[in-house]
Chain A
Amino acid sequence: MEKLQKPQIICHQQQTLDYAVHDVKWMPCSSKFVAVGGKSNGSGIVQIYSLTGEGIEKKSEFGKKEHFKCCTFDASSLRNRHLATGDFCGRLQVWDLEDTLVPVYKSTVHKAVINAIDGVSGNNSGCGAPEIATASRDGSVLVWDVRQKDMPVAKFVAAEESSTRDCWSVAFGDSYNNDERVLAAGYDNGDIKIFDLKNMKVRWSKCVKNGVVGLQFDRKSIPMNKLVATTLESKIYCFDVRTHHPKKGFAYVTEKSHDSTVWSVKHLPQNREVFMTTGGSGSLCLWKYNYPLKRVEKDSDGLSYGVAGEMNLIQNCTLTEQPITSFDWCVDKIGLAVCSSFDQSIRVLITTKLHLY
């Protein structure tokens, strides 16, 4: 009986591609998703697929000069659904997918590949301006507002040239009204930093020893609650970022899984306590975070500090032999997801029984 209640991950559709795919994303409020990547001759490609009753159908595609590394829809409204992309030579471009000759917005401030991109507030009212954040190998993290041309609206760089690190991941959070917003960034030396965009200062930083590949807050538009970081050497960290203690910092719990790099973490849009991590060994792990009985305790000075809960592994599956580099849940349908892997294929997955958690 116990076994029957467990969510199962089912491979619904599979499509082999003739290029290296770096990122996949569902288009909100549709049955379409995009795959971005690049061909062996160095050119970049964006493809739009649609899930139909028969299978996956390619709707359209367009190519550009450089490999596309990452993309997001999160900073655009439902009525335009523009795709923001970052490419290998550091360009940020925003595309209208029906008119892809020239981007609706572009910038060339980054000097090296954009490793990660995140957007916020595209279709949320009362949660601040729509913004895009990009993290690059040149060590800088830039924040963009498509209403301002050519210049970023905020910039985070290391103090000296020599201490510049490759920035691998970036995530928005704490954006619960028009003023508050933070940006978390993960670096190749294991540093995780939370930048406060309201006061423009580093609010918190911690080194987790291994390079931080994936980073995500459980929700962007609530007071920050949990932050999950995935790193090289199979480590997953889950921080309770609601309560900060001046000495103890944030409470966290850590887990080891996948026996290789943990490439990405994605929280289920319908339940923030459930998230999927994808591994370099081609495996998928579905986790549920359980809060402790009391999340906040007081120390002898009367200051509150957080108490970490536990991570419960609810499903652990192997999908392929190559690393699963990107994964995205569908916002509109619980359990539906798409992922891409180094074996040059994209797969549509269905995870059952998630509503039970």
Chain B
Amino acid sequence: MSLAEDISKLADAPDVDRRTDRKKTLLQKYRIPIQHFEYDYIEKCKDARELENILHVLRSGEEGHYPDLIRFTEERLNVINPKSKLLRACCTVLEKSSLQKDEVEELTSDLQYWLTNISKKDQELDNRKCRSIHSDAEVRTFKESREPKKDSKERRIKSTDYSAWDKYDPDTELLKMELSEKKGIEEAKKEEKPKKKVSFNRFATEAEATFFSEREREKGNEFFKSGDYEEALQCYNDSIAAKANVFNINNRAAVNLKLKRYNDVLSDCETVLKLDKENLKAQLRKAEALENMERYDEALRTVEHIIEGDPNNRRAQETAQRLREKCPNFGRKTRMKIIEIE
């Protein structure tokens, strides 16, 4: 069959479809010429959509079973569009027996470490058990909400009710519709969200403070990832207020760096470095903040300190490179002069 014939067949196809709507096979539905079901064509096909359709037809078995061609099409689709829904494979949940020995050991020791840790906190909470409920929020006053009743008698005018139609003014109805629409739009414009106000309860136990601090830090990380830096900063502030540690202060430094509040970055990094002298992330962030504050000499000194400890750190190397261009004078003083003596 030539290409021209194919095209004419495709043009005729809609009429055929309408008549035999129910009996349509997948092949007819996708309108793929039968000669496309072939290794050469599939190998060259760059259209993910068509490959998916071909695979769908092949898997349905309507045109016969071709296991090797299916596999071949799957492989091709994996090259063109690895995220295709048709490539989703289902496996079984792994049993521990099917894992490598070292993997099992790693999992068990990790879990064991967590178990001993968490039982301590659990114990602390049990010892300080309290039955009363504290909350800074009032009990809600009872309200009941019923959904607005729908008018059961529809106000639709019958087509034969001529006197009613005489009274009907399309212009006012249109105006009414427009007005209600505008109202909706104005309401949407008005909406402005108030900020979160946090009043801190003192935590009675260490476990509670750590728990709250961890949750807030995780929330902060999520906001950070989705680019909501102001919200992230708020979460990290809450986390630090509950219980400060290297991780949440370090994260706050990262947010402040994004928000270009370099003074805050510096003070956070200094705090971290007091707790953990060789903290890599804090040193890097400190260098970056100093660079943006145009204190190149100090920045370069910090970066070079990182490189001393970890010569393969790419980010540090790049920053150092950049900084050296900006302050060519750095380090000159230490260079020794070699003078020839006769």
Q: What residues make up the interface of A, taking CB atoms closer than 8 Å to B?
A: 8-12, 28-32, 51-53, 77-81, 96, 98, 104, 121, 123-126, 128-131, 143, 145-148, 151-160, 176-180, 195, 197, 200-202, 219, 221-223, 244-247, 269-273, 283-284, 291, 301-303, 312-313, 316-319, 331-333, 336, 349-350, 352
Indicate whether A301 sits within 8 Å of B185 (C-beta atoms), given known contacts A30-B122, A79-B208, A221-B219. yes
Indicate whether A29 sits within 8 Å of B90 (C-beta atoms), given known contacts A77-B133, A79-B205, A153-B141. no
- What are 10 A-B contacts defined by CB distance under 8 Å? A10-B107, A53-B112, A79-B128, A126-B196, A128-B137, A177-B197, A273-B225, A284-B93, A302-B189, A350-B107
Complex contacts, A201 vs chain B, CB 8 Å: 145
Complex contacts, A130 vs chain B, CB 8 Å: 133, 135
> Closest CB of chain B to A307's CB: distance in Å?
13
Whether the Cβ atoms of A29 and B133 lie closer than 8 Å is no
Residue of B nearest to A319 (CB): B93
Whether the Cβ atoms of A154 and B142 lie closer than 8 Å is yes
> Closest CB of chain B to A258's CB: distance in Å?
9
Indicate whether A146 sits within 8 Å of B218 (C-beta atoms), given known contacts A246-B184, A333-B118. no
Indicate whether A10 sits within 8 Å of B93 (C-beta atoms), given known contacts A123-B208, A145-B139, A160-B149. yes
CA distance A178 to B133 in the complex (A): 16
Known: A12-B107, A96-B131, A128-B137. 19 other contacts (CB 8 A): A28-B211, A29-B122, A77-B130, A78-B208, A79-B204, A79-B205, A129-B137, A130-B133, A143-B140, A145-B140, A147-B135, A152-B142, A154-B140, A154-B143, A180-B194, A246-B187, A284-B93, A316-B88, A332-B211
Complex contacts, A246 vs chain B, CB 8 Å: 181, 184-185, 187-188
CA distance A331 to B99 in the complex (A): 25
Whether the Cβ atoms of B93 and A195 lie closer than 8 Å is no
Whether the Cβ atoms of A158 and B146 lie closer than 8 Å is yes
CA distance A178 to B197 in the complex (A): 8
Whether the Cβ atoms of B198 and A126 lie closer than 8 Å is yes
Complex contacts, A302 vs chain B, CB 8 Å: 189
> Closest CB of chain B to A296's CB: distance in Å?
12
CA distance A178 to B194 in the complex (A): 11
Complex contacts, A12 vs chain B, CB 8 Å: 96, 107, 111
Partner of A146 from the list B133, B215, B225 (CB cut-off 8 Å) is B133
Indicate whether A155 sits within 8 Å of B144 (C-beta atoms), given known contacts A126-B198, A177-B194, A270-B218. yes
Residue of A nearest to B223 (CB): A222
Indicate whether A316 sits within 8 Å of B90 (C-beta atoms), given known contacts A10-B99, A154-B142, A155-B145. yes
- Whether a CB of chain A sits under 8 angstroms from the CB of B119 is yes
> Closest CB of chain B to A132's CB: distance in Å?
12
CA distance A1 to B294 in the complex (A): 42
Partner of B211 from the list A123, A151, A152, A221 (CB cut-off 8 Å) is A123
CA distance A316 to B88 in the complex (A): 8
B115, B145, B200, B221, most chain A CB atoms within 10 A:
B145
